[in-house]
Homo-oligomer: A and B are copies of this chain.
């Protein structure tokens, strides 16, 4: 291994993910947990292995290295009728259960609500009593940035289905921000066959996206970038263009030139106005200086800029652009600064993701425990054959193969709905049983899914019946997945929106080719999205009510 980074705590050899078809634990479910835990911490996957941080700033896979070593030892001795309990990243017990029960149960970062704030959490973390689990970090099913690309792809695919007959071909999408998540936008748009024009103030960010081929071309002149975008759109060519400028300046110029644009959003880090948003009235250097010199003044300029930013978005919406907020709180900032109609364009969840949730659709993912990319190729082909009528899925599979580099264990993500997940899971189990893949396949999902999260500022924003904050749903989801026999189940607090703002459940299940696994897969992959269909039907969404009827999910 030519690993040039050196670590203080993370031992590259000791924590290497086992691969291949031989067990190092007493069963494949335990083995899967071990491999996925170590995969989460693999330097190709994790943000900071040395701090056990997987992603999302502070999302960890284990509380500390002592806990990590104890988890590993526990998984190795765990029998196939026992269950290991993990409390905020620390193993606390092994109890007798039965073969159809989960092998691991995890609860991460859960606090009694009145104490559910960063201050108290940080105090507990300092005392060594807690860790932040994020979503898939603490539940051992993070598999790198493919998830972000696919989620963004799926959003633009939903936009395409709703407004452009299923493809962005011949359309122009405008946005800003090429950071950790925003960098997935250009690739997601071109995968949907459209043209993407992205404003970004940091040149190195643009260059980084060019390198990984998430972005096609760079411009430093706004007009030239616009001309290239308009030409590509006219030619029906998929093309992504990064332009080195402030989002506000790009939108101003588009309006001045009266350019017709088709979709409009933004992924600057407006949620953090001091660090994440550069006012259009400052250069980068001026911004860096002012931020440390005069915080108040910086914030005042940032708010002025964000207000203008939203005004420009509203103006373009009025001219016909399909406009939505991408979860960065830009609308809220503008409203705080006096723009009364800031919320005249919708958030992406209510507008595009919720209709998918109503059909039980969400971020289904799987990894090849063998470590062999050929195994994922086999599953890719299988999925393509199983769902020939699903166009955006077909396009994704084809392009993902070309454009997505594996990180750690080879893995794939695609959004599947009620019925489809069960079908896929059973088919994977057959692949394992018949030896078409070299080792079992582990199946999971993000916590951001149809039935597994309560998060009033994001996934459950503006529910039709006002039930945004009701947390019974993710809890029932965790309980029913435990009852159904998922391989490991987790319940977390905080996730991507922070302490106090969400409760969400994780689920992972192993297809090891046995008959017993088939029965469990059938139950869990039906019930897990089923909870989402039920939750949305209960809230009154027609599509969910129909899906529930069709799949026999009514009382």
Q: What residues make up the interface of A, taking CB atoms closer than 8 Å to B?
A: 70, 74, 83, 85, 87-88, 91-98, 100-102, 105, 107-116, 120, 123-124, 127, 129-130, 454-456, 465-473, 475-476, 478-480, 482-485, 489, 491, 493, 499-503, 519, 522-523, 526-527, 530-531, 534-535, 538, 553-555
Are A530 and B95 CB-contacts (below 8 A) given A87-B538, A483-B101? yes
Contact between chains at A472 and B110 (CB < 8 Å): yes
Q: Which residue of B lies closest to A504 (CB)?
A: B112
Are A472 and B88 CB-contacts (below 8 A) given A105-B480, A479-B479, A483-B101? yes
Contact between chains at B469 and A502 (CB < 8 Å): no
Cross-chain contact of A114 among B489, B501, B522, B523 (Cβ < 8 A)? B501
Are A476 and B527 CB-contacts (below 8 A) given A83-B483, A124-B467? no
Cross-chain contact of A107 among B469, B476, B493 (Cβ < 8 A)? B476
Contact between chains at B469 and A111 (CB < 8 Å): yes
Contact between chains at A129 and B97 (CB < 8 Å): no
Contact between chains at B523 and A96 (CB < 8 Å): yes
Given A98-B100, A124-B467, A471-B493, list of 16 further CB < 8 A pairs? A92-B555, A93-B555, A95-B526, A96-B527, A97-B483, A98-B484, A98-B523, A101-B484, A105-B480, A107-B479, A112-B455, A114-B456, A120-B469, A123-B466, A124-B469, A478-B479
For A470, the chain B residues whose CB sits under 8 A away are 87-88, 110-112, 124, 129-130
Interface of A is mostly: mixed
Cross-chain contact of A479 among B96, B489, B523, B538 (Cβ < 8 A)? B489
For A493, the chain B residues whose CB sits under 8 A away are 113, 471
Bound-state CA distance A475–B105 (Å) is 10
Q: How many copies does the complex hold?
A: 2
Closest 9 CB pairs of A and B: A113-B116, A115-B469, A113-B113, A107-B472, A101-B483, A110-B471, A114-B500, A107-B475, A105-B479
Bound-state CA distance A456–B113 (Å) is 11
Q: Which residue of B lies closest to A128 (CB)?
A: B465
Bound-state CA distance A123–B467 (Å) is 10
Contact between chains at A97 and B480 (CB < 8 Å): yes
Q: Which residue of B lies closest to A528 (CB)?
A: B95
Cross-chain contact of A102 among B70, B475, B483 (Cβ < 8 A)? B483
Q: Which residue of B lies closest to A96 (CB)?
A: B523
Write the nearest CB–CB distance from A490 to chain B, whole angstroms.
9
Cross-chain contact of A95 among B468, B473, B527 (Cβ < 8 A)? B527
Write the nearest CB–CB distance from A540 to chain B, whole angstroms.
11
Bound-state CA distance A109–B471 (Å) is 8
6 contacts between A and B (CB under 8 A): A96-B523, A102-B479, A107-B475, A108-B472, A110-B471, A127-B465
Cross-chain contact of A475 among B110, B115, B501 (Cβ < 8 A)? B110
Contact between chains at A112 and B502 (CB < 8 Å): yes
For A484, the chain B residues whose CB sits under 8 A away are 95-98, 101
Q: Which residue of B lies closest to A453 (CB)?
A: B112
For A85, the chain B residues whose CB sits under 8 A away are 476, 480, 531, 534
Contact between chains at A129 and B466 (CB < 8 Å): yes
